[in-house]
Structure 1
């Protein structure tokens, strides 16, 4: 879905919130806006927000770059899978922003699809490159040219992301546009 949806009224958002009985899980590439849109979505719905990467860092008592450096990507992905399983097992609906690779794990993907409302936030490569250039905390981008890495990862991961029942494009517009589109698509999906 493109980003032309008007923002629902507060009464419409409140009515939608009452219909949601499970967590909303945002999946997609790094830099697409899962954490920013997720926080706005949680605030609009009056749900708790959890950034899975922050939850992993709390559980490991290390930053994600430190986990990658000391234990490697496989160990990080295992911890990510366990943290997301714990979050999905909690009964209170929440908004969860996952890391870019989380939905590629078959076990994690199935759990999210079975127990959550899965929203794929998507952007083109130019938007992703511009956004990830703002921070230096992405271990996968330290191994070469970010544009080439993002292009490769996007091609590898899209078959997984495309399994999400809700797909919203996030472009070079304010995140409120993506928020409005996500709310509209969740309402239609329910």
Structure 2
């Protein structure tokens, strides 16, 4: 889910493990030369989700040691979930609505929050309640520092 710390924690993990962090949303933007809001506006969410799938497949097929921070909606496609599971350890970062709202409120680069951000976050949490269950492990980032989240993930990774 957005606002759970994927990019921040991903940076820390990449440095700790000597891997490269790939932010999937940023990779899509670079690939098509449009911002995510522009993609949504011009082509719609289904087109964005197709680009997201293509980019995820390319990143995971590269064979490099990478940390991939996916957008929160990448799990809406079962084939993305399968790709992630085949690619390595899948970690779902979660947070309660209040923490997510505080982290994302005012971010204009999130087209799914158009309108009342608080209402939209709560609705997305409800719709996606079970979407992250496929992950190997889940870490609730509510009230945790990024370093604490990283240590929790490393405990699963190094098992």
TM-score, normalised via structure 2 length: 0.95
- Alpha-carbon deviation of 1:171? 1.6
Range with bigger deviation, 123-132 or 168-177: 168-177
Structure-2 residue corresponding to 1:59: 31
In 2, the alpha carbon distance for the partners of 1:70 and 1:34 equals: 27
1:152 alignment partner, one of 120, 123, 131: 123
1:104 alignment partner, one of 67, 76, 80: 76
1:172 paired to 2:143 = yes
Structure-2 residue corresponding to 1:140: 112
Q: Considering only CA atoms, is the larger Rg found in Structure 1 or Structure 2?
A: 1
In 1, the alpha carbon distance for the partners of 2:3 and 2:55 equals: 21
What 5-or-longer segments of structure 1 have no aligned partner? 1-28
1:115 paired to 2:87 = yes
Question: Could you give the per-residue CA deviations for residues 50-76 of structure 1, whole angstroms, max 9, x where no partner exists?
Answer: 000000000011111110111110110
Structure-2 residue corresponding to 1:161: 132
Alignment of 1:1-190 (within 5 A): 29-142=1-114, 144-188=115-159
In 1, the alpha carbon distance for the partners of 2:138 and 2:158 equals: 13
Question: Could you give the per-residue CA deviations for residues 130-183 of structure 1, whole angstroms, max 9, x where no partner exists?
Answer: 0001522100001x3212211121122231201101111102232111111111
TM-score, normalised via structure 1 length: 0.80
Partner secondary structure for residue 163 of structure 1: coil
Count of residues in correspondence between the two structures: 159
Range with bigger deviation, 32-41 or 152-161: 152-161
- Alpha-carbon deviation of 1:115? 2.2
Kindly indicate whether the alpha-carbon contact (under 8 Å) linking 1:88 and 1:116 is maintained by their aligned counterparts in 2: no
